[in-house]
Structure 1
């Protein structure tokens, strides 16, 4: 499953990478900014051209036509270190520091290096989220070798940590579980969380799965004694930055999901509260939700959040 040469689209010229790295890392904080999670960035909406993704993907990997992450965080870090070394050796810059200035500089360098490494990790996480979202939409199988060679710059040391953080992000935000199905060959598959049969793709134009929000909505209904009023539902979702009538960068217009899309999918029942006047509406589990999952599984999902 290696075939890393099929990912030549990821290899852009060095000078383009340096200019684009700042934009990529800035856009890569969408996960943490919108969902209140630990700082786990994702530039999925900012830099990944889903509309240009071809419909078919070879069994060994992604076509070279796919335009993945536009830069390499590791190479950007290498460039920054190299530039720092050149500045330090410059006769008018590096060697002209007084002993006091040199001491201050030496104390600052470890912190700066740590920040650069952290940014590099964030960039790799962001790129891996993008890649796994593409994989989920095309061919839900990948391998450790492919992820290392094409996204993570062969960062074997940090692979487990990066994958664990990205897997948590994929599960909570998108409702996708990343599981190693063949440990010996390190083959990973992407599944809809909780075994739901709904893939979360509302339409071809909506490029990100909404299953994560669906499970959260089912959980809110459970916490409201199996029947959540509209007021209670939107109050809880508002804590996540999800508001009716306001388009969300991952989920689109949430009212449409709750009152139309998921009702038609039979995961949610949206009905008038008995005896309410003026009319008030409430949310309940639909028959498909009862058939495919359980209260315990959904509550465990919420606890993981």
Structure 2
């Protein structure tokens, strides 16, 4: 990827709020983590569901009931709708009926992210997916880049929320700077012309290939029960990208 210059030693510009704009800081990321973990006993469904998703296979209600176990079979149908909402918010995957009787379901990629190659550890699937969506969202909100220092600060809050939900994720920074970079979901690079040397994160080529700014904005707005147009500056940028006329921000032109 060609280096893109920006003012203030290449540091990404923060988006300015107008009177008509809803502050982007209002987007509630914590609901992603909390939503997926509403029911501790069905966490075991996530690895099974994601394996089906990655293989592009459908899933049956009987398979889900078998996975949650005999002790929880009676309760699961009653919370299934809530479970589907949690999966949509947490993973960007919709669970939709594929037959009129509701026995078979298809897994629809709302965000488009495949997560392929990242989910080999069943115990870490939830936090890995959450961190990926979290970081891609932050980069978009922050002017398509975020400094290493600012991301570390945001990650501290994520870790605090994870501890509240009794999630143990060892060394999330290593996962970000090694695994997500290797998978090309994020680019980790030196800020051009920075002295002393500083680093920043951008969307990687795989993120651009699998999702779009509009999909990400729609997902973030859904977390707040908002319309994407409630964030007009972000919406305009996402819409411009969808029309195939991506504008290069001032200061980032070659």
Give the shorter-chain TM-score range: 0.5 to 0.7
Residue 133 of structure 1 aligns with which residue?
Answer: 47
Q: Spell out, residue by residue over 1:160-188, the C-alpha distance to the aligned partner (whole angstroms, 9 max, x if none).
A: x6123223333444x25242241314212
Q: Spell out, residue by residue over 1:245-285, the C-alpha distance to the aligned partner (whole angstroms, 9 max, x if none).
A: xxx93654221222111112111111111122221110111
Alpha-carbon distance in 1 for matches of 2:146, 2:215: 19
Alpha-carbon distance in 1 for matches of 2:117, 2:88: 12
Residue 162 of structure 1 aligns with which residue?
Answer: 79
Contact 2:92 2:112 in 1 (8 A): no
Q: How many aligned residue pairs are there?
A: 182
Q: Which runs of 5+ in 2 are unaligned?
A: 1-29, 224-254
Residue 153 of structure 1 aligns with which residue?
Answer: 73
Residue 98 of structure 2 aligns with which residue?
Answer: 182
Alpha-carbon distance in 2 for matches of 1:154, 1:290: 42
Q: Spell out, residue by residue over 1:185-232, the C-alpha distance to the aligned partner (whole angstroms, 9 max, x if none).
A: 421234555122333634457652523321221110011111111122
Change (3 A) 1:130 1:286: same
| One of 160, 167, 184 as aligned partner of 1:266 | 184
Please tell me whether Structure 1 or Structure 2 has the larger radius of gyration of its CA atoms. 1
Q: Which has the higher contact order (CA 8 A, sep 6+)?
A: 2
Paired residue secondary structure (1:208): helix
Alpha-carbon distance in 1 for matches of 2:32, 2:109: 22
Change (3 A) 1:39 1:201: closer
Q: Which runs of 5+ in 1 are unaligned?
A: 1-31, 43-125
Residue 39 of structure 2 aligns with which residue?
Answer: 41
Give the TM-score normalised by structure 2.
0.58
| One of 143, 146, 168 as aligned partner of 2:60 | 143
